[in-house]
Structure 1
Amino acid sequence: MNQPYKLWIALGIGMAIGLSSCTTSRTKTLAQVSSLAKSDNSPLKIFLLERDIPQDIEQLGVVTIRPRFNNGLNMDVHVKQQLRKECERLGANGAYRTQDGTYAPQLVSYLVFKYKK
């Protein structure tokens, strides 16, 4: 091998080791996520699958939330807090996200409704 190639490999390995020691994990354990859900005494239920939505619902509209990236909260926590506030304001106890996938940087929409438990 020629000398510059070895230098680039050594530099790359050194940077990888240095960067890996600087990173911090922002993941949450399942217990942490479960405790967040249990601490919420909101009557709101977010349905993940369309087939799980109860048959007898009263549609109250669509709530659109703009995710915030710089508010210090996890984006998912922020979206759920805003959704709970809007559902409380409207008197809804159920919601279903109308889009698939991850949170886009623009808007997240939920169909909100009342249903009998």
Structure 2
Amino acid sequence: MSSAPRRGDTAAAGTISPIDERWNVSDGAPAAAAFHATATTACGQNPYLAGNLAELGGWDPAKAVPLTTGSGSYPVWSAGLQLPAGTPIAYEYLLKNPDGTVIWESGDNRTATTPPTGTFTADDTWR
């Protein structure tokens, strides 16, 4: 198999016609996503969301999405963001301790596919 880039048919000598090769993508409109994780934390611990997409930090704890809670919603922590529509995602929750250490939840990555339109909602429990 050749590693050369694909090219379109030449329209005229010395020119190349563009090819729009898109696979398994939406029309570009993002899907709203709401993540809710039930997690009991120690003082100073903060839960984050990390995953395979850039919007989820690309598995980098330093770029993970912080989750927030309030006195009326604890121990449920939440984050809202925009994700590419109709896209498979893999994600996990992690805790950041006050000393900077990170604790990933146990088990396999969580997986889902964002809807082509509308809102994706995840209601998870820390494991």
Q: Shorter-chain-normalised TM-score: which range?
A: under 0.3
* TM-score of the superposed pair, with normalisation by structure 1: 0.24
* Bigger share in helix: 1
* TM-score of the superposed pair, with normalisation by structure 2: 0.23
* Bigger share in strand: 2
Instruction: Name which one, 1 or 2, has greater alpha-carbon Rg.
Output: 1
